[in-house]
Amino acid sequence: MQSIQWIGLSPVWWIAFLAVGVGVAWLIYRNETRISSRSRALLASLRAVGMATLCFLLADLFWKVTTSETWEPAWWIVWDQSESMAPFESSRQDVWRDIQQLKGEIHHVDLQGNPLTAYTPARDSLSPILSSLARLAQQSFVGSSPRVLLISDGIVNAGISSLEMPFPVYTLGIGDTTARPDAQVKRLAVNPQVTLGNQFQLESDLQIRQMKGQTVQVHLTRDGEIVQTKTWTAATQNEFLPWIWTVSADKKGSYLYGVKIISQMPEVNASNNELRRPVEVIENKLKILILAHAPHPDIRSLKVSLQRSNQFDVEEWIIPAQGANKSPMGQNYAAVILHQLPSVAFPDAVQWISQWKSRGVPLWYILGAETHLPVWNGMQNLVGIQSGGSKQDRARGRWIGPTEDKIPASLPNLPPLSVPFGTYIASREPEIWMDQLIGTVPANRPLLLVGNKEAILTGEGLWKWRMELAESAEAVLQLDQLWIRVLQHILSPTGQARLQVLPEKPVFSRGEKVSFRMETWNKEGNPQWGTEVQLTLAPAKGRPQSYTVASSPDPFELSGLAPGRYTYQATATCDGLPQKVQGSFLIEERWLEKENTQADFALLRRIASQNQGEFIPLADRKAWVDKMNDHPLPGKIQVREVRKKTLDLAWVLGLLVSIFSLEWMLRKYLGLY
């Protein structure tokens, strides 16, 4: 149903519009004697109505359209199609049959929102139950009046953790809730690249359930061979143990390290007893030093970002922690990042910086409240900052550099950095990649500058950026690649960028698409999309596969790869210079769906209780269907108001043209020219 209401128009105006129309018509036709009085009255009436309509349009009034629509109630049956539901196919078929007895419109969908027109066996490799409900709320349920029935085992291994949905949710549990003996390697973390001759650590999280008094052996393996062994005796039924393994990188090459639990007790699920990770031992990593005035979260954030690249081996040197008598000058670093240095508290750092500059070591300054600006101004020529003291300002970043399309879109809205307050004078040599925003106003002050073997970030607090972007893996990757690009720029003799090919993560799950980021740059530092890249993938067993790909801001994706370890090599020619990068990644053999096969009905109960629903045991489904049919679903009336200008009324304009056209034709017909 639709209704129209004029806004801001009193009856006086209607009378005024009509009076104008009548007055104009009287002036035109009062002395017309060539036609009959009847024809004269008809023409005058048309002119009066036309002029009144014209006044109405010229008044530029608003009108409000109120639309009310009744949405019929509907049931949305959301089926968990993950593989953990596969052993209960017969129960699922019975549930499908009984659910069809519900009164009202019924829609069957899977967790991705795809419609199911008939019973379909479970096949999905993940269980993002809560994320799927949230997504369906935005896509499928908009404008409707739904009740949702989620049919699942309650096992969640992907997606968000929020339980609250904007609609009633009923849950029906299918699965086995019996706790059975199980030993599991839940996590294995290691740096994917280590330097030859160094020691590195593997961090593992182990968990055993329903195995009190049992002793298990835990093996650390390399390419299937046992390297270390530990034992663990469970004192309680359920235990969790974090374990750190220390290994020496004594030989160059690519290896597959794993942690495996050996249990003497029979397990229903033995596929989660081992995790493996690829490690590449290389000898040509560039050693990067982060030298800091004091401990600061920026240091860890920047180190994590730079270690995403396979080019760098990043070390930290916190001066107070190392001691005033120790010096980092005994190592050959490819580049040094100076956090809040030089400073008044550590005058020795001035000598170290001077020596690095004399050796031609690239330097990246990150300024902060402890930076001694008068000394710092004399140590570099990119920008000078005239400040009357240690006063700090807060500034956001605005990207004006060469790779804007690869910068997080939310950059101007990220938390502000702490920058020196004062007058900034930049030389002509550097490229300004980022300038400062005070609030939303450009301050005409550089935030990030890069030059020949030098870079400057004039603010501290970049750890807040990474934290703010943590919910978006793509945005974090873009931020990491920005810092990598800064370091690559100052390391190159001419500031040329290099080819960069990185898998989006070192370990992929079985059945998951493997995606690469492929980027090439020209000598000006601008992205050079469309450059031909030769990518070769070599599995541990089998023949290598080659692909010819054009560099692009979009990831290159591969599907259908068998589980196992892969090494890759990418080559390209950028501005006539040959480029080559290599690395490795792993596709895990085990499925996430087999990590935990114990149904979690407690989660289903929480989802139902927090969303005006009810948990339904499998045996009670028919009684629940009868109860729902005895309480019909209420409809939903949606009222929407839209305000528009009078000139947007096409029919009013059409009426005006029709009236004046009819008057003109009648005048011609009657011989009035």
- The CATH number that applies at residue 466 is 3.40.50.880
Q: Give residue 269's domain range.
A: 182-283
pLDDT above 50: residue 584: yes
- The answer to whether residue 625 scores a pLDDT higher than 80 is yes
Section 220-225 average pLDDT: 91
* One domain for residues 168 and 232: no
Same domain, yes or no, for 337 and 414?
Answer: yes
Q: pLDDT tier at 299 (50, 70, 90 boundaries)? A: very high
C-alpha–C-alpha distance, residues 148 and 102, integer Å: 12
Q: Which of 229, 264, 283 is the last residue of a domain?
A: 283
> Span 59-66, mean pLDDT?
60
For residue 483, the surrounding DSSP H or E stretch is helix 473-491
The answer to whether residues 239 and 119 belong to one domain is no
pLDDT tens digits along 496-506: 446 888 888 88
The pLDDT tens digits of the residues spanning 250-281 come to: 888 888 899 999 888 877 777 788 888 888 88
The pLDDT tens digits for 377-411 are 888 888 888 886 778 899 999 988 875 456 777 88
In a shared domain, residues 362 and 402:
yes
Q: Which residue has the higher pLDDT, 70 or 426?
A: 426
Do strands 636-645 and 253-262 pair parallel, antiparallel, or not at all (unpaired)? unpaired
State the pLDDT at residue 37: 80
Both 543 and 603 in one domain: the answer is: no
Supply the pLDDT for residue 142.
44
Q: Are residues 322 and 468 in the same domain?
A: yes
Tell me: pLDDT of 131 over 60.
Answer: no
Q: Is the confidence at residue 522, as pLDDT, over 80? A: no
For residue 17, name the pLDDT band (cuts at 50, 70, 90). confident
For the question of whether the overall pTM of this predicted structure is more than 0.85, the answer is no
Res 167 pLDDT > 80: no
Highest mean pLDDT among 75-79, 136-140, 334-338, 604-608: 334-338
Average pLDDT over residues 91-119: 80
Say if residue 493's pLDDT is above 70: no
Residue 569 has pLDDT above 60, yes or no: yes
Structural contact between residues 199 and 183, judged by C-beta atoms closer than 8 angstroms: no
Check whether residue 306 and residue 217 sit in a common domain: no
pLDDT of the residue at 259: 93
Q: How many domains are there within the chain?
A: 5
Domain end call among 283, 318, 343: 283
Q: Which residues of 601-618 are buried (b: 16+ CB within 10 A; e: fewer)?
A: bebbbebbeebebbbbeb
> Is the model's pLDDT at 141 over the cut of 60?
no
Instruction: Give the CATH number, domain containing residue 509.
Output: 2.60.40.1930
Are 444 and 518 found together in one domain? no
What average pLDDT does range 357-386 have in this prediction?
89
| C-alpha dist (Å) from residue 173 to 176, 384, 473 | 9, 67, 33
What pLDDT sits at residue 226?
Answer: 93
Band the pLDDT of 228: cuts 50, 70, 90: very high
Domain presence at residue 593 = no
The β-bridge relationship of strands 286-292 and 335-339 is parallel
Least confident of 247-251, 289-293, 337-341, 402-406: 402-406
Sequence letter at residue 86: A
What average pLDDT does the structure give for the chain?
81
Residues 464, 346 share a domain = yes
- Of the candidates 625, 568, 627, the one whose C-alpha atom is nearest the C-alpha of residue 97 is 625
User: pLDDT at position 291, please?
Assistant: 93
**Does position 157 have pLDDT exceeding 80, yes or no?**
no
Rounded average pLDDT over 299-309: 90
Is residue 240 one of the residues assigned to a domain? yes
Between 319 and 57, name the one with better pLDDT. Answer: 319
Give the helix ranges, DSSP H, for 59-159: 89-99, 129-139
Write down the pLDDT at residue 495.
Answer: 44
Report the C-alpha gap between 213 and 21 in whole angstroms: 100
pLDDT number for residue 6 = 56
Q: Quick check: is 592 in a domain?
A: no
Q: Are strands 274-282 and 193-195 parallel, antiparallel or unpaired?
A: parallel
How much is the pLDDT for 494? 47
